[in-house]
Structure 1
């Protein structure tokens, strides 16, 4: 049993280290894309290319925050930070989402202005830098794919990069339309589509990270249902002062006062405590449980 736990810890540490390495590579790639597209957007006059660059800039910030948060979350607990720095990942995810919302609205305003003041665009810069964006972001998405389902913060960076890859495709399509048919209106149109896409995919992330920071109960857990289930135990008269919250996207905490039908010995209450905890773990997937047992006065 001890060997199994040790092996699990080793695998977790290796996964954490690999995630950091992958995030480091994506930081470098995003910085390169951002600088190249900003320069190309200014030279070509393409708002879509600049919007893609700003999107990449926000993603560079997102991945940097993800990298820092990933390192902080691995720090040991102290007497002052009794939970360690696990919340750093949620704060980073919240900031990432908030930045994307602000950038999306900014791009919408600039795109609408372009409809009233259209400009000639050099499609060649759009085409080649769009292809560069597809290649670099596609590779970054591939790197983070394995970790994105196990960590909300890495999932935030993953969604940023996935959005970048798709918007780079839109930039390439726009460049081809300008090249073949002189459709200069396609540039602000692509910018609006990118903005709407960002808002659509950011809402859920912003909502979830806000709920965790506000210590809301997870949406899949019903507090009345937990109280009802625990009072089905033949020794439990009442459950009150219930608190359910998530420390991170992966860990759910629970605390409550449990009133027993009779005044029992400490050894007997220990058994009841274990039985109630088992219900919470198996039926509600709650990992950290604190129960304060009382007796009917």
Structure 2
């Protein structure tokens, strides 16, 4: 009785913490969108006024990040959608598709920024470096504060992770622009402006490439990087009565939930009641391997399917 009570109590605590985490992430998205949109407006206004490509390209980058945050917030809400007769998993997969879309859009933006930077590099224009430094200093504060709001939950969801990476990289870019603005102010070397634009491009590539790979793999129903089939097999074989585990398929339902189908081979004389208990115990072990929706089929040594039959 005590064991069951403790298990229920732990389950209640997990649900309570999950609700708090969902609320915190939802608020982080909203605050991040508002702060970064205000900063984009400031960058565009000042960038056009002083004709700074570095500020304008970073504004374009930040605007895309605002769009990415908005889409991630949408995915975060769709991820909680309920199943229906047409969509038996709800709209959970949308979180993966939106993550992939965000990565592609960010990489496409590199081409436009890079092209303009090369043109400007040939014909640098005098710029007020101290103004660039001040505006970029505001960007460090905005992006750092926004990124910190996602820090605690960055490993819980691919979209939350992408939001954290984008905002953290934006803070680093802003720091680079501050340094570049100060250098321009004291040295009057104005080709630093397009150079900084190319640095923005490099940062986008680095911060986005892994996100693109992860989201593309998950959209193709690949195995999530947090899961290994060896551990899945080992977890199932821990259960007494399981002789073999094969025909394993693992895929992501969303950026936070994973599904599995597998065949369990048991002894020939295993009863139906024993099989039911074996399944329940295997599912319990799989929960610790980040498998949320397992479907298990059992067979005996005599009825075990061959590779082709499976």
TM-score by length of 1: 0.88
Alpha-carbon contact 1:44-1:123 (below 8 Å) kept: no
Inter-partner Cα distance in structure 2 for 1:68 and 1:82: 19
Alpha-carbon contact 1:163-1:198 (below 8 Å) kept: yes
Give the aligned partner of residue 157 of structure 2: 151
The aligned length equals: 296
Give the aligned partner of residue 288 of structure 1: 293
Is 1:95 the equivalent of 2:121? no
Q: Secondary structure at the match of 1:294?
A: strand
Is 1:255 the equivalent of 2:261? yes
Give the aligned partner of residue 34 of structure 1: 40
Inter-partner Cα distance in structure 2 for 1:275 and 1:131: 55
Q: CA deviation at 1:133?
A: 1.2
Q: CA deviation at 1:238?
A: 5.5
Q: Secondary structure at the match of 2:247?
A: strand
Alpha-carbon contact 1:90-1:248 (below 8 Å) kept: yes
Deviations 1:54-73 (A, max 9, x none): 11101110111122222222
Which 10-residue stretch deviates more, 222-231 or 237-246? 222-231
For 1:1-297, list aligned pairs within 5 A: 1=5, 2-219=8-225, 221-223=227-229, 226=232, 239-262=245-268, 264-277=270-283, 280-281=286-287, 284-295=289-300, 296-297=302-303
Alpha-carbon contact 2:79-2:254 (below 8 Å) kept: no
Q: 1:224 to 1:22 in 2, by over 3 A?
A: closer
Q: 1:149 to 1:122 in 2, by over 3 A?
A: same
Inter-partner Cα distance in structure 2 for 1:265 and 1:86: 37
Deviations 1:30-61 (A, max 9, x none): 11111111121112111111111011101110
Inter-partner Cα distance in structure 1 for 2:144 and 2:238: 52
Alpha-carbon contact 2:79-2:91 (below 8 Å) kept: yes
TM-score by length of 2: 0.85
Inter-partner Cα distance in structure 2 for 1:46 and 1:253: 49
Inter-partner Cα distance in structure 2 for 1:261 and 1:6: 37
Inter-partner Cα distance in structure 2 for 1:154 and 1:180: 40
Inter-partner Cα distance in structure 1 for 2:62 and 2:90: 31
What is the alpha-carbon root mean square deviation over aligned residues? 2.5
Give the aligned partner of residue 307 of structure 2: none
Deviations 1:191-229 (A, max 9, x none): 111111110111111111111111112345454775588
Inter-partner Cα distance in structure 1 for 2:25 and 2:234: 41
Inter-partner Cα distance in structure 1 for 2:258 and 2:164: 23
